[in-house]
Amino acid sequence: MNAFGGPFDSAMLSKWVLTRAHPGWLELRYRAHGDDWCELELPWRADLVGDERRPALASGPIMSLMDMAAGMAIWVTNGEFRPVATLDLRIDYIRPSRDRAPVFGRVTCYRQTRSAAFIRGSAHDGDAGDPVAEVSGVFMVLDPARMR
């Protein structure tokens, strides 16, 4: 099934994009969204640890979390489910996440042109005022009719 090109529906979208492929493997969960933002949860899992001395989530899955939250923020912002491609993504790791803690990623799409979407957001492990990472990036919004 390919639902690209359809209108945005958070329930449908979460069910379709978060249960399959890479987000499905990471078990990403939808938390909330607004007019121009989306928040997802990355549950803690032993096989996603990045340092054998500490049971905290690795930075790699946090990048996937923020990339996915960014894509969904772009979809809620333009109210349409068009495929996106990451062009540039920067993450600053402010501190490690707590042991065995899930990480929540909230990303805002603060500017959208015809083909580029600019995003920024932050990740935290329970207290949004004490983030573990900050992210910014640019995505290209693709034309579903031109996808191979």
Partner 1 sequence: MTALLTAYARAMGIAVADGEGPAAPVLTLDFRHDLEGRPGAWHGGAIAGLLETAGYAALHTELAARGRDPLLKPINITVQYLSTGRTRASHARGRVVRLGRRNANIAVEAWQDDPSKPIASAVMNVLMVDAVD
- Which parts of this chain interact with partner 1 (CB under 8 A)? 2, 4, 20-25, 46-52, 58-61, 63-68, 83-93, 96, 142, 147-148
Instruction: Report how far residue 60's alpha carbon sits from residue 89's, in angstroms, rounded to the nearest whole number.
Output: 13
66/117 with CB nearer partner 1: 66
Q: Which position has the token pair 């990472």?
A: 133
Q: Are the CB atoms for 72 and 13 separated by under 8 Å? A: yes
What DSSP character marks residue 145?
G
Q: Taking the complex as a whole, how short is the minimal distance between the CB of residue 64 and partner 1, in angstroms?
A: 3
Q: Taking the complex as a whole, how short is the minimal distance between the CB of residue 16 and partner 1, in angstroms?
A: 11
H or E element: which one contains 49?
strand 49-51
83/110 with CB nearer partner 1: 83
Please count the other Cβ atoms lying within 10 Å of the Cβ belonging to residue 66: 28
Q: Taking the complex as a whole, how short is the minimal distance between the CB of residue 147 and partner 1, in angstroms?
A: 8
34/60 with CB nearer partner 1: 60
